[in-house]
Amino acid sequence: MKIIDAHAHIGYIGGWADVGITEEGLIAQMDEYNIEKTALCNEDNDLTLSVMKRHPGRIIGCVYVNPLNQKTVDDMDKYIEAGFAAVKLNPLRHAYCADAEIIDAVMEKAKKYNIPVCIHSGHPPYSLPWQVGLLAERHPDVKLMMIHMGHGHGVYIDAAIKMALRYPNIYLEMSGMPMPSKIREAYERVGADRIMFGTDTPFHHPTVEMQKVITSGLDKDAQQKIFYENASKFFGE
């Protein structure tokens, strides 16, 4: 089966997480688990760009933007013109609400370049699925990936599916979300092209994340959409 990892990091993430992976480690992991391409983000966009250049065709660049830091918003143009294919937002990390107006400038720029936005979900008070829904509602022309589709809490996972049902520009990514049955539910109820596979490396391991798709009860054609085709379309890669 062909695989695209729709969400991963490199570098060391300290504090409570205390996890990390090097560039070489990521590429070795991709080779070992047959991952053709990885959508990669790091707060140092120059690092992501250099990894993209060193591994042509393997890395989908996601430009990491903090809406509270205007320089990162201004720099979007530079990185998108250099080949980045998506935007990454993490309201939890940078302490803003996912429905905050301050994100609108980022969304407008994504619309101008016709690239999708990937946004972390699952943590109050910043990144709950309902807030992502309000953001999607204000920007119906921008494709918005709800990373972790609500994450670890059943009520948030249910809300992620409800928000995606309501807003056709919301796409769901399943890394860190523990329930295989919800992958199947998203595929069947939200849409066959709106749920995709990711690892959130180095937070989670590819084998564990893959098992959730494999045990979801979906057939091989559906799994291939989740593992590869949907992300390929979403990122235009």
Cβ proximity to Zn ion: between 99 and 200 the closer is: 200
Question: Considering beta carbons, is residue 126 or 222 the nearer one to Zn ion?
Answer: 126
- DSSP letters for 77-145: HHHHHTT--EEEE-HHHHT--TT-GGGHHHHHHHHHHT--EEEE-SBTTTB-HHHHHHHHHH-TTS-EE
Shortest Cβ 203–Zn ion spacing (Å): 6
Report, in Å, the least distance between residue 129 CB and Zn ion. Answer: 16
CA–CA distance from 66 to each of 38, 43, 76, 110 (Å)? 21, 9, 10, 14
Binding site residues, Zn ion, CB under 5 A: 200
Tokens of 53: 């250049």
Q: How far is the CB of 220 from Zn ion (least distance, A)?
A: 28
Cβ nearer to Zn ion, comparing 148 with 218: 148
Residue of this chain nearest to Zn ion (CB atom)? 200
Tokens of 168: 């056709």
Closest approach, Cβ 219 to Zn ion, in A, equals: 29
Q: Report the distance separating Cα 118 and Cα 171, nearest Å.
A: 9
Nearer to Zn ion, 200 or 209 (CB): 200
CB 8 within 8 A of CB 19: no
Neighbours of 35 (CB within 10 A): 24
Nearer to Zn ion, 122 or 133 (CB): 122
Minimum Å gap between C-beta 221 and Zn ion is 28
